[in-house]
Chains A and B, each alone.
Chain A
């Protein structure tokens, strides 16, 4: 029997209703991942339906990839098999929001932007300024593990995700954590799901801690003739009493990206003038507090910028948002700015960032590729290769460049992944880096959650 033939479709229709089974080639094309199109897409409306679908898929050995807004399906390897798409966007209910307790429980398909208003009514927010902000769903941002400029102060989702419900690869509905802000009951299984690209479970509900919205905020940008000077200022801030909400160092070409057509798609408001320049490095900081705090921070930052040898500095008040939004959307803006954009993510100890960026810059320029970079103050660098074409030659040069950066990064004890690149380059670029010493442990984890290997097979580290 053809498992995705008529019988299968009718069985799936029994679970979610025929109206929620998509099998026409036209609409199905929207679920494409790296050139692969599933044979059907399901739109479950409840966690129980998700469990039924996965149970059926496991029994028929059908591979499933769950998705929300489908903005980050290009991350990781192409799935080795892809029979069914699980469209989670009908799971879009806010299950509970307790402003007095600052906790929130939402279904996986809830779009992040839809929560903004609800939380703002209580002067609260989720510190998740992640890329693709206007589209991304809660489940998608967790499964992809994307980070945000606000991690400088608030940490990543890992630090305020309180609990989760999910469906395992065998179709079992399970949960871990809870809905209180402090909890050590049982294993923190939900942390494993973060950044796992759907290879361990289908996330159906997430519980978060919410945060009081800062009273007032400001932005500060200082420009520098060299990366060294910009990072010198970063180090001065790190040694100071200031606790900024965001801190990014951006390379010269970023100004051009932020004023491009691609940027206006994500943030239509114009960039404030005189903020970053096309030829200089810049350090950008966001901070918040009462008026006295803001005054103090601005003064301290101006002093530190001068000490670090800035060529100019500006405090942004009302104009903060368009600049901030672009910083948040660095990845999609870079992806939209080149026919073969390749995003390299590197992590090193903060004091090694200058050296690593130097190596990356030399490798890229000696191979004649345009690039732009944004480094987070805590030691995470997004380095975008922005070739002007997608030829075999460019592919070969990009591979040479990324191999060189890999080596430099490993030499500094850091690690590197390539979350985005053209599909047909994924067999040449080492997108998950070299094999890791703890890979055997990761395989153990995978076998616990998805023994049949039906969830997002092949997309993750080492082809898990």
Chain B
């Protein structure tokens, strides 16, 4: 890379604020997905002024710029697809203000998700979005990806909990959008920027809502002999109008992998379990837990266990939240999908995923947010074998096409990034994509910030061969 740029970055950030040797960059060429892209250099700003300085240099040298939190993303959102400067926010990790009475917190983007909840727990509050990577992932990353998590079924995703941000546009303008009071007048820029996967601005400060912790929590583990019984249970819980705080499903294969790693006491001989949580005021939780258990039994649950105390509950959740890590012990690589389907289509979709696994000869584990129909099939393979990678992508595309055909979507919480941009035409017409492109270009006019993400290259690209869906309300064949 340009030695003058390196010199300028070092004068701005100090020599401990810049990495550029190939062996240093290795750590930053990947995230939680299977994508790989190496930046030219990695920088670590400490202040908003540092970030402004970095953006100015990127403009001066016309070099791409990508933001990154903890690098736990699952779609390549924080990878430098076109090289350039990777801006890592891990040193901007201060909680700037906690306002207990108004239930607000203002944080720098590098604050770790779980750290914020820990910092406000004494006041009976928490930051509701709880991605499984919450012990590592940052709030800046959550905002960029509009992250979900098991409890978003009842509490909503990141966009429902973020009020205001200080951002720096790739053109170098510093702006504050939204407000800590509700209903900021004007267009809902927060709505556009949250979940824009780092393509519109770098974020330097975030004000979030804090949510009161529930008075009572009950966690249930329902054990099933068949996959269909488990999925039918989810369908009925939804249609009965029961809204658990979380409704997670693990299939038998995944469960055994998890149990070998976490020792949470999961049964080793079943086809699937549902991890269900209900919370709220005492009187409501008792009844809801009974209702949930009742539906499980109607659908032939072999056993419904209720966690007796916080320790048992934590153990069950540890199993759920460490599942990807557990699977990582069994296979050199796995490919995780993030498709969403209407919940009534769960049984058919799980059956389809099994068929795809058999057809392509891959082991597929399923561990996912069943309550909101957000699938996470984990396809195990060996990335060192190029032909396997090609087949995994084909298998995955087949699953995604099925989700879309069911009236669903290609990503529920992991983002499009550099992994699913080519699939966007499955859902969106060229007119839809053009408008999104223009919205991006209004803020990121020359594509300096996080280039080649979310939106496929304009038409004419031979890779795009999928046909767009009919309009969203139209009946799906």
Residues of A within 8 A of B (CB): 47, 95-96, 98-103, 105-107, 123-124, 145, 147, 155, 158-159, 163, 165, 168, 172-189, 191-192, 194-196, 200, 205, 207, 212-213, 235, 238-239, 241-243, 289-290, 292-293, 295-297, 345, 347-351, 378-380, 413-415, 417, 432-433, 436-442, 444-449, 460-462
Interchain residue pairs with CB less than 8 A apart (27)? A47-B471, A98-B344, A107-B473, A175-B471, A176-B432, A176-B436, A180-B407, A182-B157, A183-B409, A184-B412, A184-B413, A184-B415, A186-B416, A187-B196, A189-B435, A194-B188, A195-B188, A200-B187, A235-B101, A296-B283, A347-B183, A350-B102, A415-B184, A442-B187, A444-B442, A445-B187, A448-B439
- Option from A95, A181, A414, A439 in Cβ contact (under 8 Å) with B372: A181
Q: Which A residues are in CB contact (< 8 Å) with B238?
A: 100-102
Say which one of B173-181, B269-277, B292-300, B459-467 lies at the interface with A.
B173-181
For the complex with contacts A184-B195, A185-B409, A441-B443, 15 further pairs of A-B residues with Cβ separation under 8 Å are: A47-B471, A175-B472, A180-B342, A182-B157, A182-B373, A184-B148, A185-B410, A186-B455, A187-B196, A187-B436, A189-B436, A195-B188, A379-B102, A413-B179, A437-B176
B287 contacts A442, C-beta separation under 8 Å: no
B439 contacts A189, C-beta separation under 8 Å: yes
Distance in Å from the Cβ of A174 to the closest Cβ of chain B?
Answer: 5
Distance in Å from the Cβ of B97 to the closest Cβ of chain A?
Answer: 12
Q: Which A residues are in CB contact (< 8 Å) with B284?
A: 289-290, 292-293
Q: Mark B145-189, 1 if CB is under 8 A from A, else 0.
A: 110100010001101100000000000010111011111111111
Q: How long is the Cα–Cα vector from A315 to B282 in the complex, in angstroms?
A: 21
A179 contacts B407, C-beta separation under 8 Å: yes
The binding surface of chain A is classed by DSSP as mixed
In the complex with contacts A105-B473, A290-B284, A445-B189, A212-B241 CB distance below 8 A: yes
B435 contacts A168, C-beta separation under 8 Å: yes
In the complex with contacts A98-B342, A415-B179, A207-B473 CB distance below 8 A: yes
A180 contacts B185, C-beta separation under 8 Å: no
A192 contacts B188, C-beta separation under 8 Å: yes
Residues of B within 8 A of A (CB): 99, 101-104, 124, 145-146, 148, 152, 156-157, 159-160, 173, 175-177, 179-192, 194-196, 212, 214-215, 235, 238-243, 280-284, 286-287, 340-344, 369, 372-374, 407-416, 420, 424, 427-429, 431-436, 438-440, 442-443, 454-455, 471-475
A349 contacts B436, C-beta separation under 8 Å: no
Q: How long is the Cα–Cα vector from A395 to B190 in the complex, in angstroms?
A: 35
Q: Which A residues are in CB contact (< 8 Å) with B239?
A: 99-100
B343 contacts A101, C-beta separation under 8 Å: yes
Q: Which B residues are in CB contact (< 8 Å) with A178?
A: 340, 408-409, 427, 472
In the complex with contacts A99-B239, A181-B372, A182-B412, A436-B101 CB distance below 8 A: no
B343 contacts A100, C-beta separation under 8 Å: yes
Distance in Å from the Cβ of A338 to the closest Cβ of chain B?
Answer: 24
A185 contacts B439, C-beta separation under 8 Å: no
A192 contacts B187, C-beta separation under 8 Å: yes
